[in-house]
Chains A and B, each alone.
Chain A
């Protein structure tokens, strides 16, 4: 059973556009939701994370929107740049358990 479902699998956005990636989770005990960015040949890098007590968190061009009742969260990348082209993973875990369940990844391509 896939604990975290991520969509779309791939995304093409024009430079300056908004990239939106969605995730849904099953386990209501999850209470930490990070997003990771991975470039080819590199490990995932932590981008931004949120806990369920807030509905939105913004860091620079990256925003997480969180809907606890729908068990969904999404990553918005504003003013997308070619350098943002990478694979993005959402994840979820329970507090005090450093065991992440990852989404299947979204390959983002930002066209110049």
Chain B
């Protein structure tokens, strides 16, 4: 059974640009959450999607957005990139909304220069 797949694994972007990251959850899983991991702030919740709807949202500016498709795949977008957005972005897959067991992908390492 394939795990959570995140693409791309690495990205280098320039300040002011925008970026889109992709996450394919475990087959049959319908809830996808996104987290930002940095050395200074640790792991912080961005948002969660279930059935193409955002269920929960963390304390990030509106430059961070996401969506989920009918096949449960999810994308997150960061617009007007800042140097501080450099981080490992992790996607977590859960069977359903309210099923708390979550499995993480390997992440996308975003570097903003």
Contact = CB atoms under 8 A, between A and B. Distances in A.
Interface in A73-112: 89, 91, 93, 95-105
Contacts, number: 68
Interface string B83-102: 00000001010100111111
Interface stretch (A17-25, A37-45, A55-63): A37-45
A107 B16 CA distance: 34
A89 B92 CA distance: 15
Nearest to A6: B42
Give the contact-size bracket for chain B: 20 to 34
Give the contact-size bracket for chain A: 20 to 34
B111 interface: no
A26 to B, nearest CB: 16
Given A32-B100, A44-B104, A95-B98, A100 B4 contact: no
Nearest to B106: A43
A45 B104 contact: yes
Contacts of A102: 35, 42-44
A94 to B, nearest CB: 9
A104 B6 CA distance: 23
Interface of A: 32, 34, 36, 41-46, 49, 89, 91, 93, 95-105
9 contacts: A32-B100, A43-B4, A44-B43, A97-B56, A98-B50, A99-B45, A100-B33, A100-B35, A103-B42
